[in-house]
Structure 1
């Protein structure tokens, strides 16, 4: 806040010079200055109230003279005299800057006595993020280091928030060791100093990993009907899909079979099931990080009117299923 003794001495000296040799009998002033807080960019009025007949008056900022009476000494156009009378001697600072912070002194002479009033201007700046990590894409198992730099007056706090789980980490830096795919999300940086609403920005972290097939099952089908084989695979970046028959022939579209690829799955759509469609199918999912495959069977659905005795039905289905895998033969009947 500066040296009050030096400021008082300077203010008294100015009054001596202004009074052109008047006797100085003593000075009256407050030892602790009043604080005025203002946001950067706003305007503020510094008031100096006078209750006696004044002969000389002046405003100072540190060691700089701003006004002596109505004469302006400051070259700053933002500083103006807004009220000068027998009762008040006030100045206005427009569009306050951080450099305006500091001590201001109003000094006047009344009845041959210097009177001095101090005010300390505090300039606050809302917390603001000035530099933050860009969104990143990493492979699973790598380390991630995020940063978020903020400024403000008073000094702001910085917090990282996990959007998915609500976890909070204090400080400008967020370090994630051996990141997992479940940790891929938006991470939010929040900075706050109590001056204005918090400033916040998000960083997206993408975690790449090879395909993992999550859903597959054998499907029964009736001749002449429709059927679907489905292959679901989670992967980042998204997987590309290929289908193969049991003899390793790639499956291709025809008038009875269509392949439909979506973002996380591939479908084999049979529009008219025939004998040639029964068999084993392998789904192959891949991206630049790796691949995964799984096999499933399209088999003929057992008829409810089958002549198989009930006691043999379970065994019949097992034998039939085994035969479908090995030779894709027609239905095998077990006679009692």
Structure 2
């Protein structure tokens, strides 16, 4: 008695599609095993459409990663033995399973069909599979190619960056998948703008309007994967037109200065060559983001004049002038007189005034009295 070990290697060594047989093999059993393997191994002859006893040619099987793939082999009653092989590894011989991979199972074994299924297909399952049949004459084969589709996955993308205005920017987006994914870039700041499909997005002389989020979309026939990159564009302060402010003595006056900048600007206020500080000389300086406010709670004659707002960051400085000028405040006697005049004008309704239905009678009486008064004055001056 001799120990006999037979190896059928699969891809990558012992794994899916591998079977080991061990036992004590007499010489006659070695011959039987050799003969059995002889008809299981494909003869390499093409399938002939006129040979009805031989398996029909199969189309390629396309399946997404993680799904199940069914490989069907159509046969007839003239076939005596059948087997499924993956490259040089035997998966099934008749009803006997030779593969150690639990994902490979037989689903149909009849006189007309011999089919297997691979559960949860992965990338390494892609490749050729062979259905081999034995007839009374000699073996024939039919081959099918399994194509595994993989959803795209972005594996490398540029980090969020901060650059100075006018710089050149290159963004990278790399993805894997089957079929090979296509990449597109899009600027998400409104209005959203798309770019030519490519792994690289190159921006020459970037401007502040081109700051914001950029989206990379990798897609193929299976699905898509999306990632975003934040691009910050630094630029020196820019101060739009400011408005001069008028205030009366003793009243409150507020000067405003707005500056757009990245990073945010620091503000300083000056009157002539003298810098103003918060809380001194009855003024308050309050900064809030892009806005700075200089507040006078009790304006005096000395407060009138020209003020300079200076905004600066690490990239530059900008300044503007704001004028605080005097306006006259109405006196109390003038206000009382204006109020009396307004009251009289509001209550008096002249000949062209519009009257409602409830006041028509009183309006007629008033018109008659005015007419008598005018006639009385006329006769008084006549005599």
Q: 1:249 to 1:154 in 2, by over 3 A?
A: closer
Query: Partners of 1:259 and 1:29 in 2: how far apart?
Result: 91
Give TM-score, length-normalised by structure 1: 0.77
Q: 1:29 to 1:43 in 2, by over 3 A?
A: closer
Q: How far apart are 1:236 and its partner, in Å?
A: 0.3
The corresponding residue for 1:243 is 269
* 2:290 equivalent to 1:264: yes
Q: How far apart are 1:213 and its partner, in Å?
A: 1.3
The corresponding residue for 2:234 is 208
**Following superposition, which runs of at least 4 residues in structure 1 exceed 6 angstroms of deviation?**
none
* 2:316 equivalent to 1:290: yes
Q: 1:74 to 1:246 in 2, by over 3 A?
A: same
What is the DSSP-based 3-state SS (H/G/I as helix, E as strand, rest coil) of the residue aligned with 1:276?
A: helix
The corresponding residue for 1:143 is 168
Structure with the higher fraction of residues in helix conformation: 2
- Give RMSD over aligned pairs: 2.5
The corresponding residue for 1:171 is 198
* 2:96 equivalent to 1:74: no
Alignment of 1:35-46 (within 5 A): 35-46=60-71
The corresponding residue for 2:255 is 229
Query: Partners of 1:14 and 1:105 in 2: how far apart?
Result: 17
Q: 1:237 to 1:41 in 2, by over 3 A?
A: same
Ranked by relative contact order (alpha carbons within 8 Å, sequence separation 6 or more), the top structure is 1
The runs of 5 or more residues in structure 2 that have no matched partner are 1-34, 42-50, 332-383
Q: How far apart are 1:43 and its partner, in Å?
A: 1.8
Query: Partners of 1:228 and 1:52 in 2: how far apart?
Result: 101
CA contact 1:260–1:266 (8 Å) conserved in 2? yes
Q: 1:69 to 1:47 in 2, by over 3 A?
A: same
Give TM-score, length-normalised by structure 2: 0.68
The equivalent position to 1:89 in structure 2, one of 90, 107, 114, is 114
The corresponding residue for 1:100 is 125
CA contact 2:247–2:327 (8 Å) conserved in 1? yes
* Number of equivalenced pairs: 285
CA contact 1:15–1:114 (8 Å) conserved in 2? no
